[in-house]
Structure 1
Amino acid sequence: MRRNYTISPLGDRAVIIEWEQQISEDIHRRVMQAFRQLQELHKPYILDLIPAYASLTVVYDAVVLYRELHGNAGEKIRELISATLEETAITAAAPPRRLEIPVCYHPSLGPDLHAMAESKNVSPEHIIALHTAQTYTVYMLGFLPGFPYMGKVHEQLVTPRLKQPRLRVPAGSVGIAGAQTGIYPQESPGGWNIIGRTPLRLFDAGAETPCYCGPGDEVRFMPVSLEAFREMTHYI
């Protein structure tokens, strides 16, 4: 892997590896490659690996690291990362999970759909067609547990956040902010433009895998009727 990244301290228990800061599938592939390489080390002092759009945070146990590597923890973890990422034997990329997420775009569930359509001089059906026409990459989870940041949306769908965020956005709401699309896993305040809702549960703290989506996943949105949405909500 070419050295096209930087490694910087993030407090006294973590470092952050950063690539060029932009929304890019190529850069995110490098992030996920680094994630896999460090994950496969199975080092007891690496406590967590947190991938994002163009960065990877490595959380470590400084005491265990010092005992194993005998030296300044921050320097040693950076040396380990550099040596690992510069190895010529690159881990083969696992095929991404492909998820189909049902979404109801009824106005009662997508309160910003018509306003977005009007602002772009297109029909709501055109917005829906563009939103469901492509496959999105999950770049990171954040803001709320299990909230998937996905992109990029079609250029015609790029829309700034609401000037006045809502105090209540229902769980499952599907929104657009800038060139990103995402799903609210829990009810919360929020400023994304809400165009629909999924009946799926995006986060379950009691599940073996709490988050429905994960970084690197590929997502397609499948439009469903209000009747189908209500039926799926009842049974899921």
Structure 2
Amino acid sequence: MKIKVASVDSLIIYFADKIDKDIALKVKNAYNCLRNLNIEGIIEIVPSYTSIFVTYDIFKYDFEEISKVLASSIKQSSTLEDTSKLITIDVYYGVEVGLDLEDISKKTTLSIDEIIKLHSEKIYDVYAIGFLPGFAYLASVDEKIALPRLSSPRKQIPKGSVSIADTQTAVYPQASPGGWNIIGRTAFEFFDKSLESLSPICVADRVKFNPISKEEFLKQGGVL
């Protein structure tokens, strides 16, 4: 673990320089630790795949002091209770909303049912939140359906679109441009302005996708 200056009132805690499940677990534990301890003078804590960005009150700490506080606090992470949640998200995987399902089937020689099974049977870790408020980067998808981003991004991806890019999967929390492969759609709300974090899903949580019918999707408020 290395702590380096990011700006006059921020720093970055580095755990490694590569994306790895074991490294992500270390980031997750450290993030949970710092968040739960609620250290006075810490303004913001933003985790990513291999690091944690921290903004702090420069009138309370200088870089050396806050570095010692953070390093000491993170050592306690192994003794903290796991506060991560398992969140189940219902998904309609129909081809009318899964814009790239048929193309993925051709590229992988898997049937659409096999693609749905491979995507929905795994439990994914939330590695980071970014790009859009509530856009959660989840990993890792089965290597059989791990596909690169589209060569030409779409100008508009519908809200709730469930997608795959390389070994990651995610849901577009609102309509936006995007280049990920779209395989389904959910009525689950990833963006909530009433929450401090702006989303019910946080780094350290886990996500499980649950296939549902078109009728169930529409009953939940889903839009085709």
Query: Is TM more than 0.5 here?
Result: yes
Change beyond 3 A, Cα 1:162–1:85: same
Q: Which residue of 2 aligns with 1:149?
A: 137
Q: Which residue of 1 aligns with 2:124?
A: 136
Change beyond 3 A, Cα 1:102–1:94: same
> Unaligned regions of 5+ residues in structure 1, if any?
66-72
Change beyond 3 A, Cα 1:208–1:80: closer
Change beyond 3 A, Cα 1:121–1:192: same
Residue 100 of structure 1 aligns to a residue whose secondary structure is strand
Does the aligned pair in 2 maintain the 1:33–1:93 contact within 8 Å? Answer: no
Please, which of 73, 84, 91 is the counterpart of residue 84 of structure 1?
73
Residue 53 of structure 2 aligns to a residue whose secondary structure is strand
> Unaligned regions of 5+ residues in structure 2, if any?
none
Return the alpha-carbon distance in structure 1 between the equivalents of residues 75 and 214 of structure 2.
Answer: 51
Please, which of 168, 191, 199 is the counterpart of residue 187 of structure 2?
199
Return the alpha-carbon distance in structure 2 between the equivalents of residues 40 and 220 of structure 1.
Answer: 25
Change beyond 3 A, Cα 1:86–1:231: closer
Trace 1:55-204 onto structure 2 (pairs within 5 A).
Answer: 55-65=51-61, 73-86=62-75, 90-204=78-192
Give 1:138 shift: 0.9
Does the aligned pair in 2 maintain the 1:112–1:193 contact within 8 Å? Answer: yes
Give 1:20 shift: 1.8
Return the alpha-carbon distance in structure 1 between the equivalents of residues 24 and 73 of structure 2.
Answer: 18
What's the TM-score, normalizing by structure 2? 0.92
Return the alpha-carbon distance in structure 1 between the equivalents of residues 141 and 182 of structure 2.
Answer: 14
Give 1:60 shift: 0.7
Does the aligned pair in 2 maintain the 1:33–1:91 contact within 8 Å? Answer: no
Give 1:206 shift: 2.6
What's the TM-score, normalizing by structure 1? 0.88
Residue 94 of structure 2 aligns to a residue whose secondary structure is coil
Larger CA Rg, structure 1 vs 2: 1
Identical-pair percentage? 36
- Give the superposed CA RMSD: 1.9
Change beyond 3 A, Cα 1:160–1:208: same
1:7 is aligned to 2:3: yes
- Number of equivalent positions: 223
Does the aligned pair in 2 maintain the 1:200–1:233 contact within 8 Å? Answer: no
Change beyond 3 A, Cα 1:39–1:204: closer
Does the aligned pair in 2 maintain the 1:173–1:194 contact within 8 Å? Answer: yes
Return the alpha-carbon distance in structure 2 between the equivalents of residues 232 and 94 of structure 1.
Answer: 31
Return the alpha-carbon distance in structure 1 between the equivalents of residues 194 and 69 of structure 2.
Answer: 34
Please, which of 205, 212, 223 is the counterpart of residue 211 of structure 2?
223
Give every structure 1 segment of 4 or more consecutive aligned residues whose post-TM-superposition deviation is greater than 6 Å. Answer: none
Residue range with higher mean Cα deviation, 199-208 or 32-41:
32-41
